[in-house]
Amino acid sequence: MVTSVTSSASSISLAEALQQTASVTVLGAGAWGTTLARLALTNGNQVQIWSRRGPTSLAAAVANADIVLSAISMKGVADIAQKLQATPLATSTILVTATKGLDPETTRTPSQIYQDAFPENPVVVLSGPNLSKEIDQRLPAATVVAGSDLAATARVQQVYASDMFRVYTSADPLGAELGGTLKNVVAIAVGVCDGLSLGSNARAALITRAIPEVIRIGTRLGAQADTFFGLSGLGDMLATCTSPLSRNYRVGYGLSQGKHLSQVLEELGSTAEGVNTAHVLVDIANREGIPIPISRQVHRLLNGAITPKEAVEALMERDLKPETCDISDPH
């Protein structure tokens, strides 16, 4: 059982931390938003969920919030950030983003969008190996809250930490965010691998080779390499790439069965952020000159340019080289 949480300043007992309740507004009534609302509510915080379909206005929902947590899909982030700018949001309000994706128009992450819109407010990223269905079943899980404002990060940690949900802090919000975002593309590739019944060896090789690819992208964009070996990087990748609860994994698996992408997404009934991320990632890689062999094959597969079998064959036919060259000299 977890007995303490660690903030940037000191260690305090979990019981003391949970007495510091907050007013939390969760934007987004989907599975993840609902789970995060429930976690905060269980700790005794005042919580409300806002959605576009609900009766409460956005301005009213965030008016007195200590923490505004965004759990909406990537396609709605820029619009919500713009709408929030028209609300009376105090500069002390902490903005937390739990969305894993990249904006197709600007290639920015959610935290970058919110920070640009609210330069005076602290912005915190929540990311980790967190399958909402397992958390709802009260199975143990851990996550990372990352931000440049250490006090705000510790505050969010205190709001969410419990004996079943371990919360760690990080000072690398971009790394935490990109780890959770980029692994969704890898999960599609692993879904294809499993759908084609290529075995555990192939799956392990694919995940292992994806790690330096993700690190190449992340560090080029300004993240710290070590972050990608933590919960929000490798941890999230393992959970998403090995569970049928993962929507992105199911996209790859469905494509491997010969289904069209539109059919797979319709059957899924919810957003698989890896699809959009793959398209944006290729734009970033082309702009920055970053080799992304796995992600590029996923992008081609999603566009119908190759079959699942051809995607795997393309990866297996790459030039022979030392394993250790793949981060510093990937060519």
In whole angstroms, what is the distance from residue 18 CA to residue 161 CA?
Answer: 8
Q: What angle do CA 314, 317, 323 make, to 5 degrees?
A: 115
Among 83, 183, 259, 321, the active-site one is 183
- Active-site residue 83, yes or no? no
Q: Are strands 4-6 and 11-13 parallel, antiparallel or unpaired?
A: antiparallel
Q: Establish how many alpha carbons lie within 13 A of residue 60's alpha carbon, considering only the half-sphere containing its beta carbon.
A: 8
Q: Contacts by 197-206 with C-beta closer than 8 Å and gap 24+?
A: 198/312, 202/312, 203/241, 203/242, 206/294, 206/315
With residue 69 as reference, give the H or E element that holds it. Answer: strand 67-70
Q: What angle do CA 8, 12, 18 make, to 5 degrees?
A: 105
DSSP letter for each residue of 190-248: HHHHHHTT--HHHHHHHHHHHHHHHHHHHHHTT--GGGGGSIIIIIHHHHHHS-TT-HH
In whole angstroms, what is the distance from residue 282 CA to residue 249 CA?
Answer: 19
SS3 125: strand
What sign does the dihedral 155-160-163-165 (CA atoms) show? negative
Q: Is the Cβ–Cβ distance between 131 and 243 less than 8 Å?
A: yes
Q: Which residues are catalytic?
A: 183
